Amino acid sequence: MTSGTPDFSMTEIASAVVDLPFSTSRTGIYIYLNAALCAKPLTNDLSLINHLRARYQDDAQALTTDLIVGSFDTLANALHRQQPAHSLLCYKSFVVNKLPLLLMTLSTSLFPPPNLQLCIQSALGRIDVHPFPPLSLENDGVNDALRSSRQCFLQACVMHQLGTESAFASIVGDPAASFSSRTNRYVKESLTTQCVSNIHRVDALVRELEAMSGNVGAISGALVEVRLKRRIVSFSILTRRIDTASSL
């Protein structure tokens, strides 16, 4: 003790601090997803998955289920706050187009892998698609948008083989109405080849970026790949021209 105050080293202080357990509340993942979707902080698949794994440790089932619930909570809040159309498109696209791809990644990166079909059933059983009383046309629109997004999400899950139509039928009620429109699954490599051989295919794919089909991940990946290929081709052409000019 020096001058009447205790004298501890930083090592002694650090060793006396007890780490608090991570919280896995529904609110926590809701806040994180809201921040991620408005790019504050800027995030990507790896940082999102690492964050979830740090929070949930080895509980793959709870991680997957809470991610689905938090995604729909985020969408419901955006609808209720009457966000601009471009923002709502982002939230809806995340639920329908991005979330199934994240679930596929989690199924291969977690051990033991979660039962995705069971997680989807459990999560959607906790999601209320009528969160706001239908006292006005505004609330009716919010509830309709949530039901529509849930249906598109399940269709995307079936397309990506995360579950079967029969398994999800009890969630949506009438399976004939819910899964009547089926979309073929796109593959990024195949789309890239199509765009390279036919540049007009790019315009058609750009128009599909706003679709709620579950294929936007493959489309955006292919468009980025094509853009990179075109840059490489343009750079090589420019290089040859410079070499030709310098040899004259």
Amino acid in the structure at residue 142 = V
CA torsion through residues 79, 85, 88, 92, sign: positive
Strand partners, 2: 5
pLDDT of residue 41: 61
pLDDT of residue 227: 83
3-class DSSP state of 128: coil
Provide Rg for the chain, Cα atoms: 24
Asked if 156 and 213 touch (Cβ cutoff 8 Å), the reply is yes
Asked if 160 and 96 touch (Cβ cutoff 8 Å), the reply is no
pLDDT of residue 23: 63
pLDDT of residue 183: 78
Closest CA relative to residue 92, chosen from 204, 181, 185, 213: 213
User: Which two three-digit tokens encode residue 8?
Assistant: 């501890």
Instruction: Estimate the crossing angle of helix 200-207 against helix 216-247, to 10 degrees.
Output: 150
Q: How far apart are CA 120 and CA 154, in angstroms?
A: 9
Q: How far apart are CA 41 and CA 61, in angstroms?
A: 26
The full 3-state SS of 18-73, as one line of letters, equals CCCCCCCCHHHHHHHHHHHHCCCCCCCHHHHHHHHHHHHCCCHHHHHHHHHHHHHH
Domains of the chain: which residue ranges? 22-182, 184-248
Q: How far apart are CA 247 and CA 245, in angstroms?
A: 5
User: Which two three-digit tokens encode residue 214?
Assistant: 């579950």
What are the per-10-residue average pLDDT scores of the chain (248 residues)? 63 68 78 82 82 85 93 92 88 94 89 88 86 63 87 92 86 59 85 89 89 91 84 49 42
